[in-house]
């Protein structure tokens, strides 16, 4: 049987209360006594039963999650994952509130952050827009000891505790390698379609993509970036124009959302099979387009992992515990039509 607090108390010749004080390094123990207890802990190889500790504490963690509103399927999927995490919140002793803000709107986001602040939560997770007022709002939270995790899109320089999202430079590089190799010797330029250069994740993907294309496929021409605001209708319009203007277009890298518009435009023009399309985020639409062959590859970040990681990290930070960064790293999934995961209910 593994040792318990009783065993330590016996071994050290003190009471349970004292052991507990040492365990949670609370004040009120002479350092001699503390030493004795710590020695007992080591010799017995004691490991605290976290479940029992939480049970006794009855602690719960109030968190606020701030997500962009709108039709964006990825974000709606993320919200669904969050809601299913909330369903488990009884068991996990977490208490989550969702705040919704217009996409790409720094002002609104900053306001939401201070609204979150007023609730005095133990932690906040936010899909960041890279702007000074947002950075400032995050700093305010941190100054009040509230843990902050950026989700999906980062905000470096804000002092956030952690970023729960993928390495978007690497994601852009991955897209570049796939594009270059899938195209092979085929002639023609490649277009890049982004949501907005206001968010860090899109900027990073672009940087990675351009870097690889420059290094490994230097002969390939990259057209200027098109910004579709993650809005399917706008994306469709822009791609219509693009296709009309470039009859020799060989590939499109869509690094943001709104892929419904991309797919519609490609199919309408009858160029779904001839243009190599690489997009981000597995949604019902991108999945269908992958299966039909309109999209050739989808890079994905697992929203469920991101949400669960954010919650784990917020808990750890709230308790002042260390985070094993390597363990919280979110992978860049590559999906072809052949390795699609089973559709969830």
Partner DNA sequence: CTGTTAGCGCCTTCAC
Partner DNA sequence: GTGAAGGCGCTAACAG
| Candidate segments 137-145, 173-181, 223-231, 307-315, binder of its own copies by CB under 8 A | 173-181
Cα gap 154→200, rounded to integer Å? 6
Using rule CB under 8 A, residue 136 touches its own copies: no
Whether the Cβ atoms of residue 149 and residue 123 lie closer than 8 Å to each other: yes
Binding site partner of 247, from its own copies, DNA, none, Cβ cut-off 5-8 A by kind: none
CA distance 173 to 223: 17
Q: Give the 3-state DSSP-derived string for 86-154, with helices as H, strands as E and coil as C.
A: HHCHHHHCEEEEEEEECCCCHHHHHHHHHHHHHCCCCEEEECCCCCHHHHHHHHHHHHCCCEEEEECCC
Residue 30's contacts (CB-CB under 8 Å, 6 or more residues apart) are none
16 is a contact residue toward its own copies (CB under 8 A): no
How many whole angstroms separate alpha carbon 27 and alpha carbon 275? Answer: 67
The interface region with DNA, picked from 48-56, 72-80, 175-183, 334-342 by CB under 7 A, is 48-56
CB 235 within 8 A of CB 261: yes
Q: Is residue 49 within the footprint of DNA (CB under 7 A)?
A: yes
Asked whether 344 and 150 are in contact (CB, 8 A), the reply is no
The interface region with DNA, picked from 45-53, 94-102, 122-130, 316-324 by CB under 7 A, is 45-53
Interface with its own copies, residue 185, by CB under 8 A: yes
- The smaller minimum CB distance to its own copies, of residues 118 and 344, is found at 344
Residue 170 binding its own copies, by CB under 8 A = yes
* Contacts to DNA by CB under 7 A: 1, 4-6, 13-21, 23-24, 27-30, 32-34, 46, 48-49, 52-53, 55-59
* Contacts to its own copies by CB under 8 A: 2, 47, 49-52, 54-55, 90-91, 170-171, 173-174, 176-178, 181-182, 184-186, 208, 212, 296, 326, 329, 331-334, 336-339, 341-342, 344-345
């Amino acid at each position: 049987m593994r040792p318990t607090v009783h065993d330590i108390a016996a071994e050290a010749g003190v009471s349970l209360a004292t052991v507990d004080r040492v365990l949670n390094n609370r004040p009120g123990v002479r350092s001699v006594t503390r030493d004795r207890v710590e020695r007992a802990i080591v010799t017995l190889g004691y490991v605290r039963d976290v479940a029992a500790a939480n049970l006794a504490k009855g602690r719960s963690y109030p968190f606020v999650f701030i997500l962009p509103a709108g039709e964006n399927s990825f974000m709606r999927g993320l919200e669904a994952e969050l809601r299913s995490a909330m369903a488990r919140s009884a068991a996990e002793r977490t208490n989550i509130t969702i705040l919704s803000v217009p996409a790409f709107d720094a002002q609104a986001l900053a306001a939401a952050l201070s609204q979150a602040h007023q609730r005095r939560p133990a932690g906040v997770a936010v899909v960041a827009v890279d702007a000074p007022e947002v950075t400032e709002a995050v700093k305010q939270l941190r100054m009040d000891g509230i843990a902050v995790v950026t989700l999906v899109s980062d905000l470096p320089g804000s002092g956030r505790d952690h970023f729960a999202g993928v390495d978007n430079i690497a994601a852009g590089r991955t897209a570049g390698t796939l594009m270059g190799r899938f195209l092979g010797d085929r002639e023609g330029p490649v277009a890049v379609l982004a949501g907005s250069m206001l968010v860090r994740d899109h900027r990073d993907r672009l940087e990675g993509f351009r870097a690889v294309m420059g290094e490994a496929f230097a002969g390939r021409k990259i057209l200027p970036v098109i910004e579709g605001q993650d809005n399917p209708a706008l994306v469709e319009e822009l791609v219509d124009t693009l296709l009309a203007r470039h009859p020799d277009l060989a590939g499109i890298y869509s690094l943001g959302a709104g892929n419904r518009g991309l797919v519609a435009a490609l199919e309408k023009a009858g160029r779904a099979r001839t243009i190599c399309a690489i997009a981000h985020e597995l949604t019902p639409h991108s999945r269908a387009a992958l299966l039909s062959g309109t999209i050739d590859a989808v890079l994905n970040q697992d929203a469920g992992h991101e949400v669960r990681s954010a919650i784990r990290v917020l808990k750890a930070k709230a308790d002042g515990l260390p985070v094993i960064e390597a363990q919280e790293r979110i992978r860049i999934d590559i999906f072809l039509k052949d390795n699609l995961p089973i559709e969830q209910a």
